[in-house]
């Protein structure tokens, strides 16, 4: 009964919020109004589902009661159909409520900073890193998100040893957080004369953007060095000391940003990456400490975990965490990631529901 008490309280609270949001004392206080609007937006979907479930429960009760009294065969058949439909809808709404009441990841609405690093495989790994970078850029475009490059280390044949970039938009972390880990490619490199299949790897790190309130950062712990930007770029490249290298002394984290022509903008981007990295370290510690929570997630979230294989000879992509294999490699590399991500979310929700049932 506790769950229904919680849901009833949610309905009462929603009515309170709607009344308060219309009152002058709240509308004239922007901070309070924003806070209440956020709470209302979080409550509304659950309240709507619960009201629909209550209507179904009422229909089931009425139909059963009328069936006991009704003698007419045609009316009884209509009531049985109505009862069956209401029961099916009720079961569907119950499942939806269970999912809506699962603890929500507080980082889900955040932007992300993505880092891709070439691993084993030399130039072939760097070429694959560039393909995976383009895959995420295309996916971001399909979701109407914005991509900003932070830093990149290219090789002459079009590959990337390393690239970091920010993706901003609605619910970015909620979709991309399942992408962290080792991505493996199996194919015949263009330089391979014998036609042998090579295996190369890259690592992907997805870090939620951290606000100043999320991370206590002492600028006295930071050392900034400036240098001349290198690479393709425009007129200012190699002519001004606009690139920034940030070293966080306590952790030894080093971040370079040279995408902007302004030293100040590069410094600001470097600090954003540092905050995200420090916040990500705290998240990793929390995952390590909460063993049960970690088991309820899709994968461990560990950077060294092999999560996916892209097999070119067979045109398939396999996600090892959820045993999903799709034979449309080209479309996936072109940014069609929704089926994989949706499957990861569904598996994660199922695992969490099972854990809650325990």
Domain ranges of the chain: 2-100, 112-351
Residue 142 pLDDT level (bands cut at 50, 70, 90): very high
Close Cβ partners of 316 (under 8 Å, ≥ 6 residues apart): 325, 326, 327, 329
Which runs of consecutive H residues, i.e. helices, occur in 70-201?
Answer: 73-100, 123-142, 172-176
Residue 295 pLDDT level (bands cut at 50, 70, 90): very low
Domain 112-351: state its class: alpha beta
Using CB atoms within 10 Å of the CB of residue 237, give its burial: 0 to 12 exposed, 13 to 18 middle, 19+ buried: middle
Residue in the block written with tokens 């390590």: 288
Q: What is the pLDDT of residue 49?
A: 92
Q: What percent of the chain has pLDDT over 90?
A: 46
Determine the Cα–Cα distance for residues 247 and 273; give it in Å rounded to an integer: 11
Determine the Cα–Cα distance for residues 310 and 317; give it in Å rounded to an integer: 5
Q: What is the pLDDT of residue 131?
A: 96
The side-by-side arrangement of strands in the sheet containing 324-326 is: 146-154, 160-168, 112-118, 198-208, 181-187, 306-311, 316-319, 324-326
Q: What is the pLDDT of residue 296?
A: 46
Residue with more model confidence, 289 or 116: 116
* Assigned token pair, 272: 């954003």
* Per-residue pLDDT tens digits for 41-80: 889 999 999 999 999 999 999 999 998 888 888 889 999 9
For the segment 214-221, the average pLDDT, to the nearest whole number, is 83
Q: What is the pLDDT of residue 209?
A: 87
Query: For residue 178, is pLDDT > 90?
Result: yes
**Integer angstrom CA distances of residue 105 from 23, 173, 257, 288, 348:** 31, 10, 29, 17, 12
The reply to whether the predicted model has a pTM over 0.75 is no
For the segment 184-199, the average pLDDT, to the nearest whole number, is 82
For the segment 134-161, the average pLDDT, to the nearest whole number, is 92
């Amino acid at each position: 009964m506790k769950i229904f008490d919680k849901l009833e309280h949610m309905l009462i609270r929603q009515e309170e919020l709607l009344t308060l949001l219309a009152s002058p004392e709240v509308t004239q206080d922007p901070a309070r109004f924003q806070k209440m609007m956020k709470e209302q937006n979080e409550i509304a979907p659950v309240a709507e589902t619960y009201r629909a479930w209550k209507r179904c429960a009422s229909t089931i009760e009425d139909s059963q009661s009328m069936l006991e009294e009704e003698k007419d065969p045609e009316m009884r058949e209509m009531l049985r159909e109505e009862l069956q439909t209401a029961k099916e809808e009720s079961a569907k709404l119950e499942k939806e409520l269970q999912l809506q009441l699962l603890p929500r990841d507080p980082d889900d609405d955040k932007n992300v900073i993505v880092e891709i690093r070439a691993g084993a495989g030399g130039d072939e790994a760097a070429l694959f890193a560039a393909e995976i970078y383009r895959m995420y850029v295309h996916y971001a475009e399909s979701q109407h998100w914005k991509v900003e490059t932070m830093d990149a280390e290219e090789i002459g044949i079009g590959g990337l040893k390393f690239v970091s970039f920010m993706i901003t938009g609605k619910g970015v972390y909620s979709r991309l957080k399942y992408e962290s880990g080792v991505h493996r490619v199996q194919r015949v490199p263009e330089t391979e004369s014998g036609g042998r299949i090579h295996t190369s790897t890259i690592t992907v790190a997805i870090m939620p953007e951290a606000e100043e309130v999320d991370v206590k950062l002492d600028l006295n712990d930071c050392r900034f060095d400036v240098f001349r930007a290198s690479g393709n770029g425009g007129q200012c490249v190699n002519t001004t000391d606009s690139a920034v290298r940030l070293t966080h002394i306590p952790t030894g984290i080093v971040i370079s940003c040279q995408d902007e022509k302004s030293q100040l903008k590069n410094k600001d981007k470097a600090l954003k990456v540092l905050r995200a990295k420090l916040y990500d370290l705290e998240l990793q510690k929390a995952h390590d400490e909460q063993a049960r929570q970690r088991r309820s997630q899709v994968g461990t979230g560990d950077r060294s975990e092999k999560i996916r294989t892209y097999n070119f000879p067979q045109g398939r992509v396999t996600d090892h965490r959820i045993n999903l294999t799709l034979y449309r490699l080209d479309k996936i590399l072109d940014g069609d990631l929704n089926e994989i991500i949706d499957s990861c979310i569904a598996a994660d929700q199922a695992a969490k529901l099972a854990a809650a049932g325990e």
